[in-house]
Amino acid sequence: MFGPEIDADDSVFVHETALVYGRVRLAEDVSIWPYVVIRSELHEVCIGARTNVQDFVLIHIGFDHPVLIGEDCSITHHATLHGCTIGDRTLVGINATVMDGVTVGANSVIAGHAILPENATYPNNSIIAGVPGKVVATRDCGESNLVNARFYRQNARNYRIGQHRFSERDIAAFKAS
């Protein structure tokens, strides 16, 4: 279901069970998977090209903050993003929570179940874990995060045509990209 201000092109995949309301911009090849909820009453939600938002993710603006998600990101199952900024090629782990005013740099990984407290800033190439979330290592995870985003981009292309499993040809094309 779509609200009145969705900005997306034909390359975007939004599963029929996703609920998207308010001012939401979805760049090319974004995929929104089952039971995602995106709400934007005061600000906007902007999701960068080739980013995937996986099953049961909740994205909501903060009172003072939009949600800005970079390109080639993976926002994995049950994550919550609330009024935050996520850099390019970042993976947000399963059930992680990122609160208002948080900025996460590019090429980072947020571990599953981490909680990033309000207004925290994490530099590029951070591996963030714990409650509250802290940088536990520094490593450029951009390439491995990009591989995950490419997988979901191909998966979304398949779903758009009703193909719910990878074929041998898809696997070969994925490996070549």
Q: What pLDDT is stored for residue 177 in this prediction?
A: 64
Q: What is the pLDDT of residue 14?
A: 94
Structure confidence at residue 9 (pLDDT) = 84
Each residue's pLDDT tens digit, 13-28: 999 999 999 999 999 9
Mean of the per-residue pLDDT values for the chain? 93
Tens of pLDDT, residue by residue over 31-64, are 999 999 999 999 999 999 999 999 999 999 999 9
pLDDT of residue 163: 84
Q: What percent of the chain has pLDDT over 90?
A: 82
3-state secondary structure the chain: CECCEEECCCCCEECCCCEEEEEEEECCCCEECCCCEEEEEEEEEEECCCCEECCCCEEECCCCCCEEECCCCEECCCCEEECCEECCCCEECCCCEECCCCEECCCCEECCCCEECCCCEECCCEEEECCCCEEEEECCCHHHHHHHHHHHHHHHHHHHCCCCCCCHHHHHHHHHC
pLDDT at residue 169 is higher than 90: no
pLDDT at 76 over 60: yes
